[in-house]
Copies of this chain bind each other. A is one copy, B any other.
């Protein structure tokens, strides 16, 4: 009996829909993790990732886990632990959503003295917020920030932040799980020291691999560490032996089919070209947003700092999260995401990313939401969501 998996249309915050070619790539024969042909695949993946991260960082690899493994790897390699014999060097975490909250947890578990500065969920940080914190708290060696918050749909402007961080003698860690491949991520231009992502959002591959890039400055700090990184699995120096150099050595096994799928996804990113891909995410995300607004959703992210392709929005008054999402899943075979944290039960997270950034995904979903709204006695005029989206498409033909 084959495994039962309905062909869900994935329009939540990830995983995003993958193309038949990406699925097909996984049927290539499994190779061993030190096979010369597998090493070539690893090299090609690294080369694509450098282009998409817009970096020359030699250390641009995959962590063998989901996006969250990338987060943990970036943080535990770079943070300093609390010390009882010398003055503490601290980790500053910019918190404005669920995933930045997770960073606090990871850093604390790893023994860091964490300073969390907070903004309301839905807002972005200004460079000045970070400058003030660095001046006030002193002795901060690592600053972490989320480029695109999957819990709120906030896109963090990155210009000007690294200079402030570097001037204070710290390193900058950036989460781009949601942004990489969907919107500009310019690691070198922005001066980011560690950036990580996940395979399953705008890279349009299945979940399970976490791209990670580290600057020369970050690698230098890791090489100078007195104590080894707390984790063998996430240790950048171990990953380096497996990913770089002419003679590769064993670190862990490799989930070969996921590598094949990601490589196929990366080749598709390359073929489309980054500017066209970003424009596509903006366009279809914008149409989705217009349709949702017409249905009475209110956006969590301020409009000037919104992720183009992931919309976190409060449900209209009277709309029951669980019933409506379940109806969409059952009647339209489509997944949308629920709210996280303070927005649990109150908001939805809807993505138009990767293969989901497509008119033929956006319009049917808007129709579906409208239908279940009407069936559940939420007052909306039939056709209004599609019409608002169509109007957006008319106005944005790029």
Contact = CB atoms under 8 A, between A and B. Distances in A.
A253 B102 contact: no
A105 to B, nearest CB: 6
Contacts of A335: 32, 35
Q: Is the interface of A mostly helix, strand, loop or mixed?
A: loop
Nearest to A1: B267
Contacts of A6: 29, 31, 37
Interface in A170-221: 198, 200, 206-209
Contact of A68 (B17, B252, B264): B252
Question: What is the oligomeric copy number?
Answer: 2
Interface stretch (A20-28, A89-97, A128-136): A20-28
Contacts of A252: 65-69
Given A65-B69, A68-B253, A3 B15 contact: no
Interface string A314-338: 0000000000000001000001000
Nearest to A333: B29
Interface string A1-26: 01111111010101101100001111
B3 A30 contact: no
Nearest to A22: B30
Interface stretch (A106-114, A155-163, A284-292, A303-311): A106-114
B255 A258 contact: yes
Most central of A18, A26, A72, A206 by chain B CB within 10 Å? A26
A26 B20 CA distance: 12
B30 A228 contact: no
Contacts of A229: 109
A231 interface: yes
Interface residues of A, number: 74
Contacts of A7: 29
A146 to B, nearest CB: 15
A232 interface: yes
A154 interface: no
Given A26-B257, A206-B256, 17 more contacts: A4-B41, A5-B37, A8-B31, A10-B32, A14-B253, A15-B33, A17-B30, A23-B27, A27-B27, A105-B232, A110-B230, A206-B257, A207-B253, A207-B256, A208-B257, A255-B258, A257-B257
